[in-house]
Structure 1
Amino acid sequence: MNQPVRITTPFTRETTAAEVADGIDLTGRRAVVTGGASGIGVETARALASAGAEVTLAVRNVEAGERTAADITATTGNPHVLVAPIELADRASVAAFANAWQGPLHILVNNAGVMAEPLNRTPEGWEHQFATNHLGHFGLALGLHDALSEAGNARIVSVSSSAHLRSPVVFDDIHFENREYEPWSAYGQSKTANVLFAVEATKRWAADGITANALMPGGIRTNLQRHQEGNPEFRTLMDSYSWKTTEQGAATSVFVAVSPLLEGIGGRYFEDVAEAGPHVPPGNTGVADYALDPEAAARLWDVSQEMLAR
């Protein structure tokens, strides 16, 4: 059986989102960026707006979203930058956002997330990182499926992380009910779920003209790291790591969202603006086999639907 050809590009880890979007015309296209008011979400939204898309920032803090929208409009000249509230860990909030959406949706960027936080549970008892990073985005995509299908050739961008290498989805105890909670394992599990979602969404929805791909944006100093400020091990890492700017960090998200190279292609994992190869220990790059496992992807989809239906 022939393996798909890995997608390579002339871009590098230093490439910016604006450089990826240069020459792309998104006039008439509509995009949603979750977490679009901070970090790489801002620069992802800015690059899409600069290419002419109507962009909706789906955010927890509407005031921050409005400030960001005004800034993006000022820098791009695109007045079609909108703001809508969403709390990904709240099923009712996710449903309200999806139900309020009207018309086609061409690009859904599942960008928002929380990282390595202390143990926190939703009212349902779900572990908060899994609930936010995976279940919220999963529910949002389900709710927007018809809008994505209406668009034709729609793309879902699933922002994962190299932290997926820390843990597969532990189906026997996803929510840390019977094992000791460990923030990075919980985060890693949720980021693996982001990749598995892209695999299964493409399998189920490609016939509807919808594809999904996952990506690692790179290490960027953002508010995402707020829960690690007192961690000496993380401070050491912060000092030694080769960090990207937010403009560079958004580049792979924008590439997955708009590149002609990905027309009709889904279920893959990208980093540094190109498709990643298999993970080779002890490195911190590439994609783990378990994150692309079609059986795990199908199982996660079913389990996630069951959780949201309770």
Structure 2
Amino acid sequence: MTTRVTTSFDRNSTTDDVLAGVDLTGKRAIVTGASSGLGIETARALASKGADVTLAVRDTEAGKQVAADITAKTGNANVHVASLDLNSHASIAAFTKAWTGPLHILINNAGVAFLPLTRTAEGWEQQFATNHLGHFELTLGLHDALAAAGNARVVVMSSDRHHMSPVVFEDIHFEHRSYEPLVAYAQSKTANALFAVEANKRWAKDGITVNACHPGIIRTNLGRHVPLTPEWKHIESRIPYKGLEQGAATQVFVAASPLVEGIGGRYFEDCHEPEVNPNFEYRATSNGVNAHAVDPDAAAKLWAMSLEMLKQRTAA
């Protein structure tokens, strides 16, 4: 029986709150999707504590501006930019091959949400391909660098929307069922959580812990594809939004707080590990984690299927 991680932090805690007293000097970190939203605040927070931070982004020009801004705010000149497209095997392979030396923190922050039906060149549904498979391939490619660091941490961004769908193994890519953008997004977020479960099981012996987290609901460009229907506006009026400093706090907490040292395979929200909860509604208190997002059997099955999918990509 494992003990849940509980803390004095809550949904109002900021990145600076959770990193108070933490020194990341000498630690190397990668933050994907760090040219906007939560990624920027996450990178800033890590840099403010002395970490050497690489912004892994598609738009390197935007990334360079962000890096300059972070350096100006923190005084940390060790903020770098590298090109990464999670939809491209060649880009992921180039990124991982170029990385040398240890990697102490990997935050898989990038993502897409609520897209109309879009498929990759392989025929994969875009949200699952980007949010899960791209980060799956990236993290596997960086395994040796993480192992070389000793006590490395991987943080995978999930969402409380995972409640709305398990991974539908019989039809992951919506080839035989009607496509719903929210359901596809939810499935990808469940996959993110399951990846943390299985990766931690496999890699804890290598000194690598892997956890998933829900940042909360924040107004960023991630929601730009949400249809502005009357129904959605009614739902939105009930959503307990966070600011960026609060939204990035949980992933920064999991990445660097001593309170999570040696702990992996878990799901966090509001800077603590919630209880398993089969129900979902927007509320300011914890929504919990659905059992289908921490099921070890589903996690093992997803890992095996993901490896098979990547064989298709690398063979192309």
Give me the TM-score of the superposition, normalised by structure 1.
Answer: 0.97
* Residue of structure 1 aligned with 2:186, choices 185, 188, 192: 188
Equivalence for 1:169: 167
Equivalence for 1:74: 72
Equivalence for 1:235: 233
Q: How far apart, in 1, do the equivalents of 2:101 and 2:86 lie?
A: 22
Q: How far apart, in 1, do the equivalents of 2:135 and 2:193 lie?
A: 12
8 A Cα contact 2:132 2:191, kept in partner: yes
Give the secondary structure class of the aligned counterpart of 2:187. helix
**Residue-by-residue CA offset, 1:104-155 (whole Å, 9 max, x unaligned):** 0000000000011100000000000000000000000000000000000000
Give the secondary structure class of the aligned counterpart of 1:275. coil
**Residue-by-residue CA offset, 1:248-287 (whole Å, 9 max, x unaligned):** 0000000000111211110000011111111142435110
Displacement of 1:232 in angstroms is 3.2
Equivalence for 1:208: 206
Equivalence for 1:108: 106
Q: How far apart, in 1, do the equivalents of 2:280 and 2:216 lie?
A: 17
Q: Which amino acid aligns with 1:223?
A: N
Equivalence for 2:294: 292
Q: Which amino acid aligns with 1:9?
A: T
8 A Cα contact 1:135 1:304, kept in partner: yes
Q: How does 1:44-193 map to 2 (within 5 A)?
A: 44-193=42-191
**What 5-or-longer segments of structure 1 have no aligned partner?**
none
8 A Cα contact 1:229 1:235, kept in partner: no
Q: Which amino acid aligns with 2:268?
A: F
Q: How far apart, in 2, do the equivalents of 1:38 and 1:239 lie?
A: 24
Within the alignment, does 1:199 sit opposite 2:201 as a pair? no
Q: How far apart, in 2, do the equivalents of 1:181 and 1:228 lie?
A: 15
* Residue of structure 2 aligned with 1:43, choices 27, 41, 44: 41
Displacement of 1:233 in angstroms is 2.5
Give the secondary structure class of the aligned counterpart of 1:278. coil
Equivalence for 1:301: 303
Q: How far apart, in 1, do the equivalents of 2:90 and 2:231 lie?
A: 38
Q: How far apart, in 1, do the equivalents of 2:214 and 2:147 lie?
A: 26
Q: Which amino acid aligns with 1:24?
A: V
Q: Which amino acid aligns with 1:45?
A: A
C-alpha RMSD over aligned residues: 1.0
Q: How far apart, in 2, do the equivalents of 1:156 and 1:229 lie?
A: 33
Equivalence for 2:8: 10
Q: How far apart, in 2, do the equivalents of 1:38 and 1:14 lie?
A: 21
Give me the TM-score of the superposition, normalised by structure 2.
Answer: 0.96
**TM superposition outliers: structure 1 runs of 4+ over 2 Å:** 229-240
Q: Which amino acid aligns with 2:272?
A: A
Q: How far apart, in 1, do the equivalents of 2:214 and 2:229 lie?
A: 23
Q: How far apart, in 1, do the equivalents of 2:156 and 2:25 lie?
A: 23
8 A Cα contact 2:56 2:82, kept in partner: yes
- How many percent of aligned residue pairs carry the same amino acid? 63
**What 5-or-longer segments of structure 2 have no aligned partner?**
none
**Residue-by-residue CA offset, 1:60-90 (whole Å, 9 max, x unaligned):** 1111111111111111110001011111111
Equivalence for 1:225: 223
Displacement of 1:238 in angstroms is 2.6
Q: Which amino acid aligns with 1:255?
A: F
Q: Which amino acid aligns with 2:113?
A: M
Give the secondary structure class of the aligned counterpart of 2:23. coil
Q: How far apart, in 1, do the equivalents of 2:21 and 2:62 lie?
A: 29
Q: How far apart, in 2, do the equivalents of 1:55 and 1:233 lie?
A: 41
8 A Cα contact 2:278 2:291, kept in partner: no
Displacement of 1:243 in angstroms is 0.6
